[in-house]
Amino acid sequence: MSLAYYKRYRMVFDLQQAALLQPVLPADYVWTPWERGQEDRHALVKFHSFRDEIDSEVFECLGDYRGCYQLMKDIALQPGFLPEATWLITVPNPPGSAGYEDCGTIQGVTVSETTGCIQNVGVAPRHRGLGMGRALVQRCLIGFQSAGMKRATLEVTATNVAAVEMYRSVGFQVTRTMFRQIDLECGVLT
Ligand SMILES: CC(C)(COP(=O)(O)OP(=O)(O)OC[C@H]1O[C@@H](n2cnc3c(N)ncnc32)[C@H](O)[C@@H]1OP(=O)(O)O)[C@@H](O)C(=O)NCCC(=O)NCCS
């Protein structure tokens, strides 16, 4: 058996003391709120964001469009799925193509009466470094706060420096370290 271990952090944000402002997007980018039936749009951005990243090793489904689509379906069916914490960032009328281009995604679910959990935040590679990852997280936090949550939580792979630093820059703190064990031949064990 061939095993791999991935160090993961749980990070937490205290929503009770936070004065959250609506994040402003760069010119040409707009917010797209959740609507039922948009799983495919979120899945496509998720796929583009994760397919070449460490988390597609940790979670096999993230490296595959169909896996991302099924994951989005599952998230949207969770009893705690929170539309106001679930957003796309979109470029309407991108140059050279009709229609729109989705470039960022985030989903939020409540896991208790007081805690919201960020699911997958992703920004497609050519749109990174513009503050949109942070904006997605801040918008999601506002959604949790308006739903009466006291804290927000997430898990992140420790070597995913861009994500860990992004969450820290928003105000998340590491509260726990854990390990995810994967059997490279058969899939996830724990
Ligand atoms: C993590 C991710 C969403 C960041 O998106 P982004 O739009 O590029 O991030 P932002 O521009 O909002 O950056 C916000 C802060 O994060 C940190 N950061 C972002 N990219 C970084 C990098 N490559 N290295 C170190 N810190 C980084 C910085 O503190 C940055 O603030 P600054 O620009 O003021 O210095 C993006 O890299 C991504 O989609 N990665 C793949 C999917 C993924 O791993 N998601 C997280 C799952 S837990």
Structural domains of the chain sorted by starting position, each given as residue range(s) with its CATH number in brackets:
3-188 (3.40.630.30)
Q: How far is the CA of 185 from the centre of ligand 1 (A)?
A: 31
> How sure is the predictor about 189, in pLDDT bands with cuts at 50, 70 and 90?
low
Query: In ligand 1, which atom is closest to the CA atom of 120?
Result: 47
pLDDT tens digits, one per residue of 47-70 = 999 999 999 998 989 999 999 999
- Asked whether the predicted pLDDT for residue 184 surpasses 80, the reply is no
pLDDT tens digits, one per residue of 102-130 = 999 999 999 999 999 999 999 999 999 99
Higher pLDDT among residues 189 and 75, named by residue: 75
DSSP label at residue 96: T
**pLDDT, mean of residues 72-88:** 98
- Supply the pLDDT for residue 85: 98
Query: In ligand 1, which atom is closest to the CA atom of 124?
Result: 39
Query: In ligand 1, which atom is closest to the CA atom of 166?
Result: 16
- Supply the pLDDT for residue 188: 56
Return mean pLDDT, the chain. 94
End-to-end CA distance of the chain: 15
129: left (phi over 0), alpha (psi -120 to 50) or beta: left
The verdict on pTM exceeding 0.85 is yes
Q: How far is the CA of 166 from the centre of ligand 1 (A)?
A: 5
Q: How far is the CA of 132 from the centre of ligand 1 (A)?
A: 8
Q: How far is the CA of 182 from the centre of ligand 1 (A)?
A: 25
Residue identifier of the C-alpha nearest atom 36 of ligand 1: 123
Distances (CA, A) of 120 to 28, 114, 127, 136, 156: 23, 20, 17, 10, 10
Query: In ligand 1, which atom is closest to the CA atom of 169?
Result: 29
Edge-to-edge order in the sheet of strand 187-188: 108-110, 115-118, 151-157, 3-14, 173-183, 187-188
Lining residues, ligand 1, CB within 6 Å = 49-50, 53, 55, 120-123, 128-134, 156, 160-163, 165-166, 169
- Asked whether the predicted pLDDT for residue 186 surpasses 60, the reply is yes
